[in-house]
Chains A and B, each alone.
Chain A
Amino acid sequence: MSANPTNALDVKGLTMRFGGVTAIDDLTIEVAEGQITGLIGPNGAGKTTVFNVMTGFYQPQAGEVLLGTRKLNGLAPQAICALGLARTFQNIRLFDQGTVLENVMVGCHVRRKCSWWMAPLAWPPFFKEEKAIRLKSQALLERLNLGGVSGEKASSLPYGAQRRLEIARALATEPTILLLDEPAAGMNPQESSELMVFIENVRKEFDLSILLIEHDMKVVMGVCSMIWVMEYGRLIASGNPSEIKNNPKVISAYLGHQESEDSEDPQGSSSSDPQGSSSGGPQGPGADNSQGTASDA
């Protein structure tokens, strides 16, 4: 998996440890230009940590994140955003006190040219830029079907609209890559399938590369052209949706090791086999999952 010039984002040999816990272990993934790429894995696999490293909130112990040829390690989150990487959060983080429009206008700030001291000097280009930001934000909201609620308080929006607003705010920073952290979390099947169409449209309209973390397999399989699967901080599989669907490692990661061992060893009866019960013990997926979730949060 060498660096591919058509990749929008490359993660190479990334390792992130918190004290003694290795959250990401020698991870290498690629986000292809103009595609929707999925990053999946059981709870606690380290997916959100990958996002936090990519966006500069954590500094990894080893490995690098490349935006094209530009190395992102060591840059502050705001600098990474300025280079064109935008993200949303698993637990929505809007500016609750502000209006919908104001939230998007915050996103426009990174691209502005005038400085704050021009405001009291009544410098004409400053007001021109102010107006442009307002118009751009309103236009963006209209494209994402939020035009009608631009004056509402962000916290008063329904859940699905808040998710879309977070995406709108990220788009206002004019990114080339958008990272979506569980955009379908808490949505019903109807909303999820609408979301799939929405993400696909956003990618096309704004000419983006998208990397998304998602638990809803229907969404992942529906929109992603390439999928990377993590478990316990390691990459265990990658491929297109149909490859992933049939990959035994992925199935075992999601469904647990016990079943896979049982299928490989038809002679052993799962109830009496000491090996079977030991694999369901401390090393079993259930026990690890709950621990993993705690450390990931």
Chain B
Amino acid sequence: MTVELFIQNVFNALTVGSLYALIAIGYTMVYGILRFINFAHGDIFMAGAYLIFFIAFHLSWPIAAILAIAGSSLLGILVDQTAYRPLRDAPRISALISAIGVSFFLENLALVVFTGLPRPAVQPKWMVDPIVVGGVHILPLTFLVPVVTAVLVLGLLWIVHRTRPGLAMRAISRDIETTRLMGVSIDRIIALTFGLGSALAAAAGIMWAMRYPQIHPFMGVIPGFKAFIAAVVGGIGSIQGAVMGGLLLGTVEVMAVAFNPTLSGYRDAFAFVLLIVILLFLPTGLVGEKIKDKI
């Protein structure tokens, strides 16, 4: 492999990894607080991509992006309020099954409303005109995705670690009942968690659609699974872990195929293999805390 190609692959890995990381954060935050897998998270990602596709017809791209993120955020909160909130006291598996239901609902609703026809993503020209640096062709998008991801993650970490709602979030993930007794409005904090997670997923959806310029109702399924796996690999419940897991998964996927092209047919299986390997040898992920059963 030439150096140029390798550098290109490094950037590819970074881009894909960043997108996985952004989606993974939503999984990890919801899991940290409510202890269930929000299966519908990948479909919020899809909703973000569709929203910007339709809004960008009427408004300029940056405004459309902000509105799409806000809209997806609201969708995430709405999903929680209708499908998960009634199940707060039910066994956790019930919420998980409800989440699977929401996921299928959103995917097929998108199929009904937007039809199965893949749509081209809106790509502002300055993002997709390749620039050549020392013989390496790189899209500005490839730089932009990791940078935007870094900014968003730092912003999120600031919210979680430096603000009062963030403190409440961390407290809930430790002990929801005690936090409730301390007078924290649990429902509001959970809504905030869903809102933030969905916003990041939508941002990822927008960038994903630009990189793989196609939008379709089931586009969130595979990235959703993989991002969840990234969250587990990193250590579910930890935002830093989700970022690490996302980057690791992106690297494994891109580099394995880059070094051994015959594996390209198996690309979608890498994530699951990585998941199973991690579950076996590091059941709590790279940075996760060990939760022991009480006896």
Contact = CB atoms under 8 A, between A and B. Distances in A.
B125 interface: no
Contacts of A297: 294
Contacts of B295: 48, 52, 57, 89
Nearest to A52: B295
Interface in B261-295: 294-295
Interface in A230-264: none
A89 B294 CA distance: 11
Nearest to A49: B295
Nearest to B294: A297
A57 B294 CA distance: 11
Interface in A33-68: 48, 52, 57
Contacts of B294: 297
A89 B295 CA distance: 8
A88 to B, nearest CB: 12
Interface in A78-104: 89
B35 to A, nearest CB: 20
Interface residues of A, number: 5
Contacts of A52: 295
A48 B295 CA distance: 9
A230 B245 CA distance: 45
Nearest to B293: A57
Interface in A279-297: 297
A169 B145 CA distance: 60
A52 B295 CA distance: 8
A89 to B, nearest CB: 7
A57 B295 CA distance: 8
Contacts of A57: 295
A65 to B, nearest CB: 16
Interface string B190-205: 0000000000000000
A19 to B, nearest CB: 10
B180 to A, nearest CB: 20
Interface in B52-109: none
B41 to A, nearest CB: 32
A285 B294 CA distance: 25
Nearest to A58: B295
Contacts of A48: 295
A40 to B, nearest CB: 20
A61 B295 CA distance: 19
A48 B294 CA distance: 11
B284 to A, nearest CB: 15
A297 B294 CA distance: 7
A138 B222 CA distance: 54
A18 to B, nearest CB: 9
Nearest to A297: B294
A297 B295 CA distance: 8
Nearest to B292: A18
Contacts of A89: 295
A191 B121 CA distance: 74
Interface string B212-254: 0000000000000000000000000000000000000000000
Nearest to A91: B294
Interface in A150-202: none
A7 B143 CA distance: 73
B91 to A, nearest CB: 12
A297 B292 CA distance: 11
B276 to A, nearest CB: 24
A49 B295 CA distance: 9
A166 to B, nearest CB: 14
A52 B292 CA distance: 13
Nearest to A55: B295
A7 to B, nearest CB: 25
A194 to B, nearest CB: 28
B174 to A, nearest CB: 13
B178 to A, nearest CB: 13
A20 B203 CA distance: 43
A118 B100 CA distance: 38
A210 to B, nearest CB: 20
A232 to B, nearest CB: 20
A297 B293 CA distance: 11
Nearest to A90: B295
Nearest to A57: B295
A44 to B, nearest CB: 15
B195 to A, nearest CB: 34
Interface in B120-162: none
A193 B277 CA distance: 55
Interface of B: 294-295
5 contacts: A48-B295, A52-B295, A57-B295, A89-B295, A297-B294
**Interchain residue pairs A-B with the least CB separation, the first 5:** A57-B295, A52-B295, A297-B294, A89-B295, A48-B295
